[in-house]
Chain A
Amino acid sequence: MPVNDQLLSLACGLFLLCAVGVLWRRELTALIGLLTLQGAALAGIAVLLALDDPHPEALAVAVAVGVLKAGVLPWLLRRILARVPAARETAPLVNVAASLLAAAAMTLLAYAAARPLVDLAPAATARAAPVGLAVVLIGFFLAATRRRAVSQIVGLLLVDNGIAAVAFLATGGVPLVVELGVSADLLLAVLVLQVLTTRLQAAFGDTDLDDLRELRDR
């Protein structure tokens, strides 16, 4: 089904571009917008795979993923931003140009690391799985090099989106009960981080993670 294949490639490309865009933009609202778009792309991947091999369970999972990742989680992030108005920008430790170069390097690395996954290829779609891995690595990079609490949460969500993409592309999606559990965990984790961000703000007067230096071994 060539149209379907092209749409899948489009969704995968959009998925990766959103992750790179997250490194490029500095305003946190733009980051959340990109994350929403990426969630939609992920849901698109899931829907296309589900249509390939029509299965009501897979379609339900795809819709649920879309609602969670393009709807609920970005909404939660916006609420966090509304509560910590001081932090509008990401304050990167590594400048944007270097970040983008790193993203390119990580994408190459992802293609190298995903070889066993691609070779095995239970489905032809596994060829696109390195895209997911690249997003995982970009997410790690983001969480490690951005100082705002919210951008660390965005990094965490990128990692999770990437893993979900790998799971969809390489295997057609993990079993329903596991997917439900994973989604519930993710939602709760973001809720917990939301509360903790508010408490960070209350305790430190800021959400700059460089201030977190109470605990160390002297």
Chain B
Amino acid sequence: MTSTLPLFVPLAAPLAAALTTVAAGRRTGAWAGVGAAAAILAAGVALATNGSAAVSAGLLRADALTAFMLIVIGAVATIACWAGVHQLADNAETPAAARRYLILVQLFLAAMSLAVLADNLGVLWVAVEATTIVTAFLVGHRRSRASVEAAWKYVVLCSVGIAIAFLGTACVYAAAVAADLHGTAALNWTHLTGHAGALEPDLIRLATGLLLLGFGTKAGLAPMHAWLPDAHSQAPAPVSALMSGVLLSVAFYAIWRYKPIADAVLGPGYLRVLLLVAALASLAVAAGLLIAQQDYKRMLAYSSIEHMGLIALGTATGSRLAITATLLHVLGHGLSKAVAFCGAGHLLRLSGSSRIAAVRGLAAQRPGLAACLGLAVVALLGLPPFSLFASELAIARAGLAAGQGWAVAAAFTLVLVAFAALARNGTAMLLGPPGSLPAGEARPGAAAVVPLALGLAAAAVLGISLGPLQDLLHTAATTVTGGR
């Protein structure tokens, strides 16, 4: 009998941190938030060391895939919240606004943890929709015209999108009821995968399309990505880091949960075609809009769409190698993107503008920040030693082995275009003759750079050796492939 405590920690710790913020003010609350993020990470690690056995309690259940996702959430949230502490110190905000911000971030973490911990696919949906609600005010935090507009589009588009996913969930439930499953158990993932053979194929086909459309909207897959660049560029930097680094993957996690059910009922071909279309469309959109991009926060947002495209590609391939690589890609992207967005947040406060043209020769003026941003961009480009290099290579290899040469060729051509665009903009901002940053105080100080460096170090270490994560990734990938 393994302890069920790690199931509750990822939900309780952020709520406790939110209460701390209410009771003890923003300074303590900010650090409590970092603690809560670390607690989520620790819970993920504790669940991972259980081995392949799943732990469950009531509506909550954790297998290797859940443990891995908790590790991703915890790791990225630790970087984002830690960087947020320093950002908070800089911002001239009213204490009430700062407190509200901290509380919403913690509720956001709790909602994401619930999404990956839920055994019930209906509860999973509820949790994903809850992330939209709590992040709405985070996106609109600055209350400028641009950020209110971004928040409105975000809530409307994501709510509509996720409503489609609920229609899909209802169809799955109808199929389950027809197969004589009843009540809450009829939407339990464990029950559904166990009884997949009895589900009606026509209904599951309808449901799979709706679910991919719905959760794909939240995961930023093209052509349902319209909200993403706006929301990710307008949110405060740590929130962008969380939304880009983990929220997209948490939405994609829902697709991983439905994949073994859909594959068992319909065969792997159906979902594969849908995912390949979404993957190539996302890569094309990202590559096309990265070329002419003039805003560096939007540039990072489109880079997220690019990486979600790669994750969809790996999921479409669906072999064990492909899914393992995809999961590694999720972690690597989360860490690198969190560092990149938090760095961009510091830069935005220094330069006062998010235009790429406004920043020139940053390396000469703020070497610490420039190094972090530069290395994060290098990591996002998929260059060694960072883990995205290894995972992109493995996704390509797995795709070729599965006979999807044309898709891999098309996808990586688009990746190359995105690479060129990102590299050109990155070099222009960081290297070359220094531009004119307003001569302010020397922020960010060394302390603010620490979490960013830590994230980069983690991404680099993962690129060199997976260490104990290897087994976890393999077990988690087996969950997604349905045991094959």
Contacts and interface: CB of A to CB of B under 8 A. Distances in A.
A174 B294 contact: no
B166 interface: yes
Nearest to B167: A163
B439 interface: no
Contacts of B186: 175
A192 B293 contact: no
Nearest to B200: A120
B388 interface: no
Interface of A: 113, 115-117, 119-120, 122, 126, 136, 140, 143, 149, 152, 156, 159-160, 163, 166-167, 170-172, 174-178, 181-182, 184-185, 188-189, 192-193, 195-196, 199-200, 203-204, 209, 212, 214-215, 217-218
B292 A174 contact: no
A166 B167 contact: yes
Given A178-B122, A181-B123, A215-B233, A167 B146 contact: no
A136 B187 CA distance: 22
B126 A182 contact: yes
| Chain B interface SS verdict (over half) | helix
A145 to B, nearest CB: 14
B122 A181 contact: yes
Interface stretch (B170-178, B259-267, B330-338): B170-178
Given A120-B174, A156-B159, A181 B149 contact: no
A193 B158 CA distance: 12
A46 to B, nearest CB: 14
Given A120-B203, A175-B186, A212-B152, 14 more contacts: A116-B202, A116-B205, A117-B171, A126-B174, A140-B160, A171-B173, A178-B120, A178-B125, A178-B126, A196-B136, A200-B152, A203-B144, A215-B150, A217-B298
Nearest to A160: B163
B468 interface: no
Interface in B172-214: 173-175, 177-178, 183-184, 186-187, 200, 202-203, 205-206
A199 B140 contact: yes
Contacts of B156: 143, 152, 156, 193
B203 A117 contact: yes
A116 B203 contact: yes
A175 B133 contact: no
27 contacts: A116-B203, A120-B202, A136-B163, A152-B156, A156-B160, A163-B163, A163-B170, A174-B173, A174-B187, A177-B184, A178-B122, A181-B122, A185-B130, A189-B132, A189-B133, A192-B155, A193-B155, A195-B137, A199-B140, A199-B148, A203-B144, A204-B145, A215-B149, A215-B229, A217-B229, A217-B292, A218-B292
Contact of B234 (A140, A143, A149, A215): A215
A176, A178, A193: residue with the most chain B Cβ atoms closer than 10 Å: A178
Interface string B283-295: 0000001001110
A217 B177 contact: no
A183 to B, nearest CB: 10
Contact of B206 (A117, A126, A149, A209): A117
A215 B174 contact: no
Nearest to A172: B177
A13 B234 CA distance: 44
B233 to A, nearest CB: 7
A120 to B, nearest CB: 5
Contacts of B163: 136, 156, 159-160, 163
A188 B133 CA distance: 7
